[in-house]
A and B are shown apart, each in its own frame.
Chain A
Amino acid sequence: MTRLRTLQGPALILSLLALLWAIVIVMLLALKPSVFGLSTMTTIIQFSTILALVSLGQAMVIMAGGAGIDLSVGGIVSLSAILTMLFLKLGLPPLLLPVACILIGVLLGLFNGILVTKLDILPLIATLGTFFIYSGLALALTGGAAQSGVPAWLLSWGRGVVLGIPVPFLTIAMPAFAFAGVVILWTAWGRWIHAMGFNERSARLVGIPVDRMRLVLYGLSGALGGAAALISVAWLGSARPNIGQNLELESLTAAMLGGIAITGGRGGVGGVFAAVILLVTLKTGLLQLNVNTVWQVGIVGALLVFVLLADRLSQHWR
Chain B
Amino acid sequence: MLRHIKTVLTVSALSLAVSTAVFAQEKPKIAFVPQLIGIPYFNAMEAGGNRAAKELGVDFIYSGPVDTNPVDQLQIVQNLIDQGVGAISVSVLDASSIAPVVEAANAKGIKLFTSDSDAPDSGRAVYVAQATDEGLGNAIIDELVKRVGEDAKIGIVSGEATASNLNAWIGFMQKQAAAKYPKLQLLEPQYAGGTAQRAAQISGDLMAANPDIKAIIAVASTTCPGVAQAIETAGKIGTVIGAGYCSPNTARSYIKSGAFGFTVLWDPAQLGYLTVWAGKQLIDGKAFEAENSVPGFAQPVTYDATTGILLLGPPAVFTAENVDKFDF
Give A residues with C-beta under 8 Å from B. Answer: 3, 7, 11, 14-15, 18-19, 21-22, 25-26, 29, 33-37, 39-40, 43, 46-47, 50, 139, 143-146, 148, 159, 232, 235-238, 240-243, 245-246, 283-284, 287-288, 290, 292-294, 296-297
The reply to whether A34 and B23 form a contact with Cβ atoms under 8 Å apart is yes
User: What distance in Å separates the Cβ of A71 from its nearest Cβ neighbour in chain B?
Assistant: 17
A301-B245 Cα distance, complex, nearest whole Å? 34
Interface range on chain B (Cβ under 8 Å from partner): 35 or more
List the B side residues contacting A36 at CB < 8 Å. Answer: 16, 19-20
List the B side residues contacting A19 at CB < 8 Å. Answer: 8
**Count of CB-CB pairs between chains A and B under 8 Å:** 133
Give B residues with C-beta under 8 Å from A. Answer: 1, 4-5, 8-9, 11-12, 15-16, 19-23, 37-38, 61, 63-67, 69-71, 74-76, 78-84, 94-97, 99-100, 103, 108, 160-164, 167, 191
Interface pairs A-B: 10 shortest CB-CB: A144-B161, A34-B23, A238-B96, A236-B97, A287-B79, A146-B96, A33-B21, A33-B19, A25-B12, A144-B162
Interface of B is mostly: helix
A131-B70 Cα distance, complex, nearest whole Å? 20
Q: List 15 A-B contacts (CB under 8 A).
A: A7-B1, A18-B8, A18-B9, A22-B11, A34-B23, A35-B82, A37-B82, A43-B75, A43-B79, A236-B99, A240-B96, A242-B160, A242-B162, A243-B71, A293-B76
- Using A18-B5, A242-B160, A293-B76 as known contacts, list a sample of 5 further A-B pairs with CB atoms less than 8 Å apart, ordered by residue number in A: A15-B5, A33-B21, A144-B160, A145-B167, A288-B83
The reply to whether A240 and B79 form a contact with Cβ atoms under 8 Å apart is no
A79-B84 Cα distance, complex, nearest whole Å? 36
Q: Which of A3, A288, A296 contacts B82 (CB 8 A)?
A: A288
The reply to whether B15 and A287 form a contact with Cβ atoms under 8 Å apart is no
List the B side residues contacting A283 at CB < 8 Å. Answer: 75
Q: Which of A22, A37, A236, A245 contacts B12 (CB 8 A)?
A: A22
Given A146-B94, A241-B161, residue A288 in contact with residue B79 (CB < 8 A): yes
List the B side residues contacting A232 at CB < 8 Å. Answer: 71
The reply to whether A148 and B96 form a contact with Cβ atoms under 8 Å apart is yes
List the A side residues contacting B75 at CB < 8 Å. Answer: 43, 47, 283-284, 287
Closest A residue to B16 by beta carbon equals A36
List the A side residues contacting B1 at CB < 8 Å. Answer: 7, 11, 15
Given A288-B79, A297-B66, residue A236 in contact with residue B4 (CB < 8 A): no
A3-B63 Cα distance, complex, nearest whole Å? 41
The reply to whether B97 and A238 form a contact with Cβ atoms under 8 Å apart is yes
Given A240-B94, A293-B63, residue A146 in contact with residue B162 (CB < 8 A): yes
User: What distance in Å separates the Cβ of B205 from its nearest Cβ neighbour in chain A?
Assistant: 17
A26-B11 Cα distance, complex, nearest whole Å? 10
User: What distance in Å separates the Cβ of A143 from its nearest Cβ neighbour in chain B?
Assistant: 6
